[in-house]
Each structure stands twice: as C-alpha cells, then as structure tokens.
Amino acid sequence: MPDKLCTIHVKTDGIAVLLVAGSTGTTAGELLLSLQSRLATLANDDQIKGVLLTGTPRGFCWCQPAQNSTIHEAARLSSLGQQVMFALEKLGKPCITVIEQSCTDLGFELALASDFIVAAHEASFGFPAIASGLIPFCGGSQRLSRLVGKAKTKELMFTGDTIDGEEAYRIGLVNRLYPTGEALPRAEELLLHICTRSPSAIRIGGEVVNAGYDIDLATACLLERDAFALCFSRFDQREGMQAFLDKRPPQFTGE
C-alpha cells in the first residue's frame, strides 16, 4: 500500500524530488521501510537522472524516537537503518539533500548519507535525542566524524545542541548556503548541471570515492587505476573527449 511518509515527484527534466516528511505518529522503522522501497524505485527507474532529497514545510524525517525497544528490536532497527543509508550511498545517481528546516536525529543521518547537503540559513542540524539517552543508529556518528572531524562531532553529540545553517556551512557540513526559499531552486539548478556530465563517470567515481576512503592509499590507487581503465571501454569516454576536441557539448548516454 502506498504510504505518505515519503513520496517521489518526477519532473520532466529527469530530476526526482524525494520528499521525506514522515509524521509524528510513525515509528523510525516504518519510515525506514518506506524509504527503502522509495530508494529501490529511484535506483531502478532509468528516466530518473538525479535526486533531490528534502522535506516539506511541516518537517523532514519526522518520526517517534526509537525508545522503549528491546535489545533485539534496537539491533534490528539499527541494522535496517544502516542498510537504507548504504542503499542511498549506492544509488548510482547524484543525490543532493536540501535542508530549509530542522534536520535532526534520523533526518540528520539520512542527509549525511547523500552526496552532499545544500541548506538555507534557518536550517538546523544536530542529534538532540541524546537527552533521552539515544545515539545515532544508521551510521551517523561515523559519517559525521569523517566529514567534520572527531572534535566537532563529539561536541554536537555530547551537547545535543543544534547548529544553524551558517555554522554548518562554516564547519564544512553544508556545501552551499542560501537565503530562505532559494536553497531548493538553486540545488535543482546545480543538480541539472551535474546531470549534463557523464552518468557513467559519476557512478564509477562515486563508488571509487566511497571504497577508497576507508582503505590504504596504495590499495585505493590500484582500485582507481582499474576503474579509470574501465572508463576507456565505454561510450561516454569517447563522446566526452571527442566533444571536448570538437568544442561542442557532449551527448552522454551513461553507457
């Protein structure tokens, strides 16, 4: 049965907007299952070139805190959450998160698993659930510390305080910062621009960046060498370089 926790709106230009509103009555598990099925749709639909992940004016990723669960339930929830975040990382298409409101706890974890975040000044980010004794469970502690460093991550997690868009921009959590109402259109502009680039290079590049980040330099460079060589057996490489030499825009197919 289709649910309204998260919905996909595909535009004519191939951009899909994934609205993850959630609701105050839903559990984190229900929201994650809904997300899981939406991500599968986004990955498998060839008409979709790129994804904007965002909330509604009512909120982003609203759900009940994951309290009062048994040990087994908590482990299962964490396992589901981590699978969903990895599925987002492996989407194979560019995905920008746009935050113009509160982005906390589960929402913050989701944003951290996308390619990067664009925000408005009144955005806020944090893990306030520490006040109830809860910590991130979808990989958020690991992704945040890799992104902004250990000290900043500990400060955010220990205090449970939220930071605004400007502070998030200053510490490198947010790539681009815009006035209210401008973040979504500007992010869409940027995503459309990215979609004129080679889909195959973006997919392979994303995979190599993710795989290479956690291993030693020498092994990562071997992996990259092979992926680089692979590009030269694909249509996009011939087309991209020929277009550059002909001084015309390339017509990539992703093949």
Partner 1 sequence: MPYKKLRIEIANRVGYVLLDSGARFNKLSITTIRELKRAFTQLDADDSIGAVVLSGYPGESFAVGADIGQMVNFSSPEALHFAELGQSLFDRIESCSKPVIGALNGITMGGGCDLAMSCDFRIARDTLQIAHPGARLGIITGFCGTRKLPRIVGKNFAREIFMSSDAYGAEEALRMGLVDRVCPSEEFWPKVVATAEQIAQHPLSALSATKRLINAAEDTDLRTGCLLEREAATYLNSPFR
Structure tokens at 215: 């291993």
Are β-strands 15-20 and 6-10 bridged in parallel, bridged antiparallel, or unpaired?
antiparallel
| 244 contributes a contact to partner 1 by CB under 8 A | yes
Q: Residue from 59, 94, 140, 165 that binds partner 1 (CB under 8 A)?
A: 94
| 115 contributes a contact to partner 1 by CB under 8 A | yes
| 209 contributes a contact to partner 1 by CB under 8 A | yes
CB atoms within 10 A of CB 78: 17
| 232 contributes a contact to partner 1 by CB under 8 A | yes
Q: Can you tell me whether residue 122 is helix, strand or coil?
A: coil
Would you give the distance in Å from CA 242 to the centre of its chain?
32
Q: Residue from 72, 133, 226, 247 that binds partner 1 (CB under 8 A)?
A: 226
Q: Which of residues 20-79 bind partner 1 (CB under 8 A)?
A: none
CB atoms within 10 A of CB 37: 12
For 250, counting Cβ atoms within 10 Å of its Cβ (0-12 exposed, 13-18 middle, 19+ buried), the class is: middle
Please state the closest distance from residue 129 (CB atom) to partner 1, in A: 23
Backbone angles phi, psi at 182, to 5 degrees: -95, -20
Which range binds partner 1 by CB under 8 A, 21-29, 37-45, 130-138, 217-225?
217-225
Q: Residue from 117, 157, 177, 187 that binds partner 1 (CB under 8 A)?
A: 117
- For partner 1, the closer of residues 63 and 89 by Cβ is 89
How far apart CA 117 and CA 55 sit, in angstroms, is 13
- For partner 1, the closer of residues 62 and 169 by Cβ is 169
| 239 contributes a contact to partner 1 by CB under 8 A | yes
Please state the closest distance from residue 143 (CB atom) to partner 1, in A: 9
Place of tokens 């984190």: 28
CB atoms within 10 A of CB 226: 9
| 230 contributes a contact to partner 1 by CB under 8 A | yes
Which range binds partner 1 by CB under 8 A, 3-11, 16-24, 156-164, 191-199?
191-199
Which range binds partner 1 by CB under 8 A, 53-61, 121-129, 134-142, 222-230?
222-230
Q: Write 245-254 long-range contacts (CB < 8 A, 24+).
A: 249/196, 250/198, 252/196, 252/197, 252/198, 252/199, 252/200, 253/199, 254/198, 254/199, 254/200, 254/203
Q: Residue from 81, 128, 140, 206 that binds partner 1 (CB under 8 A)?
A: 206
Binding mask 153-172 for partner 1 (x = CB under 8 A): -------------------x
Place of tokens 């958020």: 140
* Binding stretches for partner 1 (CB under 8 A): 94, 115-117, 146-148, 172, 175, 190, 193-194, 197-198, 200-202, 204-206, 208-210, 212-213, 216-217, 220-221, 224-242, 244-245, 250, 252
